[in-house]
Amino acid sequence: METRTFSPTGDSLSVLGFGAAPLGGAYGEMTDARAVAAVHRALDLGVTVFDTSPYYGATVSESRLGAALEGRRDEVFLITKCGRYGEADFDFTADRVTRSIDESLGRLRTDRVDLLLAHDIEFDSPELVLNETLPALARIKESGKARSIGVSGYPLAALERMAAEFPLDAVLSYCHGNLLDRSLFDELQPRCFARGQAVLNASILHMGVLTTAGPPPWHPAPDEVKAVGGAVARLCEERGTSIVDVALRHAVAQPAIPSTLVGVRSPEEIERNVQALAVDPADDAELLVEIEAMVAPVLGATWPSGHFD
């Protein structure tokens, strides 16, 4: 497994990160035993980055990940979040953030996380996040309960504002670093890099748009983006490959991104993802030219999210 440096702490991160939302049942039921097996298989294959949140499965993801990592905590770079606790349950006040990390540490069975993120910050006011949430995160970092701090969310403008106005260590964005949207690579990452901040990537399939089955009904992407995403997935099938493998190699090929988070539902899934990375990305070169031409009319198309301007 290739590793890259997480500049704020100097840690070496696996380029493929384990997104633990599925451990909380985000994509179907999962047993405790299956969750442990998936985590252990990932560790054995060299995955060191694990990302969870109290939001995932109403704390179930954190609890299962903590159980699975018992005795192996020091092998991983552990990420959790605060501020979001349900579909419409947000609380970014300093008091709640301060209590949240202690609750998370208990479930994760550890005395610290490596990165603590304010989760989906666009769903509260920028003033509250800047004046309460981020200073609370800084105090948590000073206490040693988090080695680094940052923000996550969808609108890049919201993430950029927080990263520019507060000394954060990292930013996590989703649906902006994939075959349908390069703005994470071309816009946010260079700005963060100039400030010494790391950028992590998630949702390489655009939350299900880049699939032959299509996204879930609630997906907010414009219809034309959904149509192109399905066409790209079908093209990959016609060329004898998988959109998952192509999208994963494309994302991981971005050298400035230390780790790309991918949701994991089983030991078999993490094995397949690791195997996909063993293929030379150059093998996708001709296919990527075709994909870029298909995507060009909708490249970077976004949708509204949250309350930030």
Q: What pTM did the predictor assign?
A: 0.95
Q: How confident is the model at residue 27 (pLDDT cuts 50, 70, 90)?
A: confident
User: For residue 29, what pLDDT is reported?
Assistant: 85
Instruction: Round to whole Å and give the CA distance between 25 and 35.
Output: 10
User: For residue 309, what pLDDT is reported?
Assistant: 55
Torsion of CA 8, 193, 93, 26, to 10 degrees: -90
Q: Which residues contact 239 (CB under 8 A, 6 or more apart)?
A: 287
Does residue 51 lie within any of the structural domains?
yes
User: For residue 280, what pLDDT is reported?
Assistant: 86
Q: What is the mean pLDDT of residues 264-290?
A: 94
User: Which two tokens mark 50?
Assistant: 């694990």
Q: 180 pLDDT exceeds 80?
A: yes
Average pLDDT, the chain: 96
DSSP string, 7-43: TTTTEEEESEEEE-GGGGTBTB---HHHHHHHHHHHH
User: For residue 60, what pLDDT is reported?
Assistant: 96
User: For residue 22, what pLDDT is reported?
Assistant: 95
Does residue 293 lie within any of the structural domains?
no
Inter-axis angle of helices 94-108 and 60-69, nearest 10: 40
Is 154 an active-site residue?
no
Closest CA to 294 of 208, 232, 203, 215: 232
Does residue 277 lie within any of the structural domains?
yes
Does residue 228 lie within any of the structural domains?
no
Instruction: Round to whole Å and give the CA distance between 225 and 99.
Output: 40
Q: How many domains does the chain have?
A: 1
User: For residue 70, what pLDDT is reported?
Assistant: 95
Does residue 49 lie within any of the structural domains?
yes
User: For residue 120, what pLDDT is reported?
Assistant: 97
Catalytic residue, from 55, 56, 85, 174: name it: 56
Q: What is the mean pLDDT of residues 131-155?
A: 98
Does residue 219 lie within any of the structural domains?
no
Give 40-75 pLDDT, tens digit per residue.
999 999 999 999 999 999 999 999 999 999 999 999
Instruction: Round to whole Å and give the CA distance between 288 and 276.
Output: 16
User: For residue 151, what pLDDT is reported?
Assistant: 98
- The CATH number that applies at residue 195 is 3.20.20.100
DSSP E strands, the chain = 3-6, 11-14, 16-19, 49-51, 77-82, 84-86, 89-90, 115-118, 149-153, 170-174, 198-202, 260-263
User: For residue 179, what pLDDT is reported?
Assistant: 98
User: For residue 127, what pLDDT is reported?
Assistant: 95
Q: What is the mean pLDDT of residues 170-186?
A: 97
User: For residue 281, what pLDDT is reported?
Assistant: 83
Domain holding 165, by residue range, is 3-208+242-281
Does residue 217 lie within any of the structural domains?
no
Instruction: Round to whole Å and give the CA distance between 101 and 108.
Output: 10
Percent of the chain predicted with pLDDT > 90? 95
Residue type, 52: T
Give 95-123 pLDDT, tens digit per residue.
999 999 999 999 999 999 999 999 999 99
Q: 308 pLDDT exceeds 80?
A: no
Q: How confident is the model at residue 25 (pLDDT cuts 50, 70, 90)?
A: confident
Residue for token pair 């939001």: 55
> Could you give the maximum distance between any two Cα atoms of the chain, in Å?
54
Q: Which residues contact 271 (CB under 8 A, 6 or more apart)?
A: 41, 45
Phi-psi label, residue 242: left if phi above 0, alpha if psi -120 to 50, beta otherwise:
beta
Helix/strand/coil (H/E/C) assignment for every residue in 164-184: HHCCCCEEEEECCCECCECHH
Does residue 148 lie within any of the structural domains?
yes
Q: Which residues contact 245 (CB under 8 A, 6 or more apart)?
A: 276, 279
Q: Which residues contact 88 (CB under 8 A, 6 or more apart)?
A: none
